[in-house]
Amino acid sequence: MSASTTDVLEQRRKKASAVCDLLIQQYGDRISERRIPPLDELVLTILSQHTNDVNMMRAFESLKKTYSTWEEVLHLPQDELGNVIKSSGMYNLKAKRIQAALREIKRRVGKLDISHLEDMDLEDAKKWLTSLHGVGPKTAAIVLLFSFGKAALPVDTHVWRVTKRLGLIEGNTSREKAHVLLEEMIPHECIYSLNNNLVRHGREVCRAQKPRCSECILSDTCTYHNKRKA
């Protein structure tokens, strides 16, 4: 890595840390807590793809109410599973992904359990999860952050947009690459609160259309805003 690349990374680290502190001032500091068992989190996250939280939860509750084990879900006819998770949208594809992931976990681990990821380092755990069919970097990061408390950052559309505007990553950075770059620069102890606060900031202030820069606590440090002012 050249000296200038190292300098840029160092500046971005400082900026990420300042952004984290400012957003904590604005929205508070959420403490990491383990939500649900890791395999439940994985299935829930597959259900969350391309839908909102209400429809995701409706499908997940329907699934948990109808079947008592993931083993049962694994052996269902795919259209029956699709029917149960219909409210999440793209239900045929999601049924296929859920069963493919369960099948592969059973093949590799010998049982439907991914708790062994706890003992892996972040990179290995990420590789393991993203090698499952239908599990991308964002899904893997959600499972690793929320179920295992690892320093993974799920880059959703809000995190991606806001961090690009702030200048933490370049405007042409792919979402996949953003996972790697942001995890490198964000202090580990900030990841959980920063994830929550960036999503909230993106929904309420730094909206896709017409960002509310005049009300934004990050405006002094924001590349997009400062370029527009110049």
Q: Which of 63, 105, 135, 222 binds ligand SF4 (CB under 6 A)?
A: 222
- 205 lines the binding site for ligand SF4 (CB under 6 A): yes
Of residues 135 and 206, the one with the C-beta less far from ligand SF4: 206
**Cα dihedral sign, 218-16-179-36:** negative
- 206 lines the binding site for ligand SF4 (CB under 6 A): yes
Site for ligand SF4 in 52-81 (CB under 6 A): none
* Rounded Cα–Cα distance for residues 176 and 5 (Å): 20
* Rounded Cα–Cα distance for residues 99 and 75 (Å): 8
- 224 lines the binding site for ligand SF4 (CB under 6 A): yes
CB 141 within 8 A of CB 155: yes
Residue length of the chain: 230
- 112 lines the binding site for ligand SF4 (CB under 6 A): no
Number of other CB atoms surrounding residue 184 within 10 Å: 12
- 203 lines the binding site for ligand SF4 (CB under 6 A): no
| Diameter over CA atoms, the chain | 61
Q: Which stretch binds ligand SF4 (CB under 6 A): 63-71, 73-81, 109-117, 205-213?
A: 205-213
Of residues 97 and 165, the one with the C-beta less far from ligand SF4: 165
